[in-house]
Amino acid sequence: MFAVLPLVYLVVRAGDKGAAFAWAYLRRDSTVELVVRSLALTVTVTVACLVLGVGLAFVTTRVALPGRAVWMTLAALPLAIPSYVSAYAWISALPSLAGFGGAALVLTACTYPYVYLPVAAALSRTDPALEEMARSLGRTPWQTFRSVTLRQLRPAAASGALLVALYVLSDFGAVSLMRFDAFTRVIYTSYRASFDRTPAAVLSLVLVVITVAITMGEVRSRGKAQQWRTGAGAARVPVPLVLGRRTTLAAIGGCLAAALLSLGVPLASLAYWIGRGSSLDLDWSRLAGAGVTTVLVSAAGAVVCVLLAIPVGVLAARHRSPAVRMIEQATFAGHALPGIVVALALIFFATRYARPLYLEMPLVIAAYVVLFLPAAVGAVRASVALSSPRVEEIARGLGRSPYGVLGAVTLPLAAPGVAAGAALVMLTCMKELPATLLLHPTGSETLAIRLWSLTRVGSYADAAPYAAALVLLAALPTVWLGQALRQRLDSTETVP
Amino acid sequence: MSVRRGLLAFVATLLAALATLSACSEPEADLVIYSGRSEELVAPLIEDMEAELDIAVDVRYGDSAELAAQLLEEGDATEADLFFSQDAGALSALAQAGLLSDLDQNVLDVVADRYQDPQGRWVATSARARVVTYDPTQAPEATEFDSVDDLLQEKYRGEIGFAPTNASFQSFVTALRVTRGDDAARQWLEDFSALEPAAYENNIAVLEAVNGGDVSLGLINHYYWYQMQQELGAEAMNAKIHYLDSEDAGALVNVAGVGVLRSSEAADLAADAVDFLLSEQAQQYFADETAEYPVREGVESTTYDLVPLEKIDSAPIDLNDLGSLEETLALLDEVGLT
């Protein structure tokens, strides 16, 4: 329901001036160019993220690399860095980056973990038996990788790529700092220019159509493939690949370059600004207050998202009826909407039909649900899809009720993936800005809000501690994500 | 199953924490202000206001355009009594939507006609001027400039800094269109663009670039220079500023202002608050703290040596003509300056 609310709002607003106006606006050359430009950025970043994410995932989970644990954590950490912080770091160091190249670089550096995390999780969980069989039947390692490993990774990689694509389409901070006219930036400026909501609503609807098309493409690419283990019993942990010295160096070089681009530059810039400012002036209690609010609201957002995502995700993984598909895609539509559109839709709704909730925390959480439910659904679906429905059928056969099966078999098996999804959602909630800004209760503030209001007046030095706190807080769930991954690889005991 | 029980306990704790959080963050305020001006700037002034009027004020900070969007969407259901905007555009949008009520004539009388809505629905609280900042070692001749046309010289190729996304730059372009007509404005922008000017994120970055000698000229608002000079000390400040001829769009004077929401249930308090923002005390604050121009006559900055507003404010541009931002953005898009 929540996910569809912004759509209804958009249709109401886009129709304000009649269908003829909307149609004329759509057919303008600049609208067409805008679609092409945004799609070019989306495709570039998604492809780059797939290559980087799958490559890093394979190297860190399957290769006997020195310091593997460290690389794993580092590869996930860029998630902790908001794209607007990263974009600011880059553009203040290299002003000439502005434009397509800069936007693509920053967005790739910030979003490849969306591919890395699910793929690495899937790699560490897939049964090596299939690959060993392929090898024993005469396939070369490269052929095995292509025909067996990659195929097993497809659901995880595709759901990660979908998140990346949707993130790129809805990102506002990075593209506007890079002065690249993508959808969100044009929607924002067209709105600001005339205070007329009709063109903005028309453009937003175009964005929704693109999102739904991409989502359907992803569903199709998932296809009818089934990814289960070879048989019953425990899966073994894959044996790490030992590479020659040159390839090992190349692998380490790749990991290092990714870490430098996505972590090194933003952190160096933060350190520079903290060094420039006088930390004596810092109001610690205010910083702590903003930190506590941030954690509470994002954790609540994550929990609500995951609770709502479980039914949708399980259905999506197990039953592919048209109705289920529609529910799943409806949740995705909200995700591509710019935060400001979702926020305005909720304002429209709450001031008319839910006045007591207006400008209260539950409304902020509702916005998070609209924006980030797809991330949670993707995580639930991908992790449920990896366990065989045969196990559930056996449990049913042994007399469990359908809900009993869900609680006793499906969810425990999917638990690591679901927990990872919750951590992911919590991270994105922490970094979310436009909706939080418009909907937060007057008088309360989060780290992102404070960061924004300080950078707006150019107080970069004063803003740096808030940026650092945000990155640190966001790093905790990220590090945990990396460690959960590593423990699974390190443990020699078999997982039930 | 313990996982599920743990999760439930976690959810329960969270909800309880949120309930307490929202319960204690609500001391009922007498007056709610939506402020498009930043907290860093306005918060001390609001504290003074609370003391002076003996009321509790809640402020919601945001971007002027976003808050205007919010107010338009909230309509009569808004909790806001007062809108304090960074620019006149957002205020006129609200006025046109019928969301602002008429201000008292004795409040309006304090401020010159050109710094208020002709129908008296909003009034300016401070003003800012566009200036040319220059590096005196690279471009000492900037003091001779009369008009933005003087920037259009081959020797300044790649040497002019500007902030294309900044609202003040866009207002300048609107002023150019209003004073010279669209065709002449397009010609100026094309010539300007041909010189490959350096685009920066905001006015501060432009000024830093000029001060550091990266570029020799820059287009900014006057108060950024005064604030930076204050921060660095006069000896450490390299960049200087020059006011163009007052007839030129490059010397545009723009305003920040305030309006009372029609739906306000505390209209009297809101009117008192507007009164306070135009009082000598508040006007002195703007002049002394932000280096903006006070709009109340007779108030002068005691910390900044500002060029008197009377000397520059004769530019023949009506602020109410600056509403055509859409056409300006289309033009900027057309010539590729975004």
pLDDT class of B2 with cuts at 50, 70, 90 = very low
pLDDT of amino acid A232: 46
CB B127 within 8 Å of CB B295: yes
In the three-class reduction of DSSP (H, G, I as helix; E, B as strand; rest coil), residue B245 is classed as: coil
> Are the beta carbons of A91 and B325 separated by less than 8 Å?
no
Evaluate if residue A494 carries a pLDDT over 50: no
CB A453 within 8 Å of CB A328: no
Nearest CB neighbour to B18, from listed A91, A193, A361:
A361
Evaluate if residue B209 carries a pLDDT over 70: yes
- Confirm or reject contact between A27 and chain B (CB < 8 A): no
From residue B280, alpha-carbon distances to B11, B35, B125, B257 in Å are: 53, 21, 11, 16
Ordered by where they begin, the domains of chain A are: 5-224+243-490 (1.10.3720.10)
Tokens of A214: 């991409």
Residues of A in contact with B4 (CB under 8 A): 407, 411
- Confirm or reject contact between A351 and chain B (CB < 8 A): yes
> Are the beta carbons of A351 and B333 separated by less than 8 Å?
no
CB B127 within 8 Å of CB B107: no
CA of A361 vs chain B CAs: smallest distance (Å): 7
Spatial distance between the Cα atoms of B221 and B126, rounded to a whole number of angstroms: 13
Tokens of A232: 């019953």
Nearest residue of A to residue B326 by CA position? A193
Ordered by where they begin, the domains of chain B are: 10-127+254-306 (3.40.190.10), 128-252+317-335 (3.40.190.10)
- Confirm or reject contact between A224 and chain B (CB < 8 A): no
Which residues make beta-bridge pairs with B60? Answer: B34
- Tally C-beta pairs within 8 A across A and B: 112
Lowest mean per-residue pLDDT among A210-219, A324-333, B30-39, B158-167: A324-333
**Contact partners, residue A282, CB within 8 Å, separation at least 6:** A462, A465
Burial of A182 (0-12, 13-18, 19+ CB in 10 A): buried
Q: Which of B201, B207, B337 to mutate to test the interface with A (most CBs of A within 10 A)?
A: B201
pLDDT class of A44 with cuts at 50, 70, 90 = very high
Q: Which amino acid is residue A386, in one-letter code?
A: L
Spatial distance between the Cα atoms of A5 and B186, rounded to a whole number of angstroms: 42
Evaluate if residue B21 carries a pLDDT over 80: no
> Are the beta carbons of A351 and B18 separated by less than 8 Å?
no
Spatial distance between the Cα atoms of A391 and A408, rounded to a whole number of angstroms: 11
Mean pLDDT, range B74-84, rounded to an integer? 91
Spatial distance between the Cα atoms of A72 and A49, rounded to a whole number of angstroms: 16
CA of B328 vs chain A CAs: smallest distance (Å): 9
In the three-class reduction of DSSP (H, G, I as helix; E, B as strand; rest coil), residue A253 is classed as: helix
Q: Express each pLDDT in A137-178 by its tens digit.
A: 878 777 777 777 777 788 788 888 988 998 888 888 788 778
Name the nearest CA neighbour of B240 among B258, B259, B213: B213
Handedness of CA A394, A395, A401, A403 (dihedral sign): negative
- Confirm or reject contact between A195 and chain B (CB < 8 A): yes
DSSP state of A280: G
**Contact partners, residue B58, CB within 8 Å, separation at least 6:** A442, A443, B29, B31, B32, B33
Handedness of CA B105, B107, B108, B110 (dihedral sign): positive
> Are the beta carbons of A296 and B21 separated by less than 8 Å?
yes
Pairing of strands B198-199, B160-162: parallel
**Contact partners, residue A264, CB within 8 Å, separation at least 6:** none
Q: Express each pLDDT in A61-107 by its tens digit.
A: 887 778 787 888 888 888 888 888 888 788 777 777 878 999 999 99
> DSSP E strands: which ranges in B93-134?
123-134
DSSP state of B287: I
CB A339 within 8 Å of CB A368: no
- Confirm or reject contact between A191 and chain B (CB < 8 A): yes
Tokens of B25: 């963050």
CA of B22 vs chain A CAs: smallest distance (Å): 7
- Confirm or reject contact between A176 and chain B (CB < 8 A): yes
Name the nearest CA neighbour of B29 among B84, B80, B83, B103: B80
Residue with tokens 């300006």: B328
> Are the beta carbons of A351 and B59 separated by less than 8 Å?
no
Tokens of A480: 């945990």
**Contact partners, residue B243, CB within 8 Å, separation at least 6:** B129, B131, B222, B251, B307, B311, B312
Residues of B in contact with A195 (CB under 8 A): 65, 68-69, 72, 89-90, 93, 97
Mean pLDDT, range A14-23, rounded to an integer? 76
Evaluate if residue A472 carries a pLDDT over 80: yes
**Contact partners, residue A450, CB within 8 Å, separation at least 6:** A286, A290, A463, A466
Pairing of strands B160-162, B253-260: unpaired
Spatial distance between the Cα atoms of B230 and A158, rounded to a whole number of angstroms: 54
Spatial distance between the Cα atoms of A31 and A9, rounded to a whole number of angstroms: 21
Q: Express each pLDDT in A345-387 by its tens digit.
A: 888 888 888 778 888 888 999 899 888 887 788 778 777 776 7
CB A173 within 8 Å of CB A470: no
Burial A360-388 (b: 16+ CB within 10 A, else e): bbbbbbbbbbbbbbbbbbbbbbbbbbbbb
Tokens of B87: 């620019």
pLDDT of amino acid A406: 77
> Are the beta carbons of B14 and A437 separated by less than 8 Å?
no
DSSP track, A392-424:
HHHHHHTT--HHHHIIIIIHHHHHHHHHHHHHH
**Contact partners, residue B295, CB within 8 Å, separation at least 6:** B110, B111, B112, B115, B124, B125, B126, B127, B255, B278, B283
Which residues make beta-bridge pairs with A352? Answer: none
Respond yes or no on whether ipTM tops 0.85.
Answer: no
Q: Express each pLDDT in A450-460 by its tens digit.
A: 887 777 666 67
Q: With the CA atoms of B49, B51, B52 and B53 taken in that order, what torsion angle do they form, in degrees rounded to the nearest 10?
A: 80
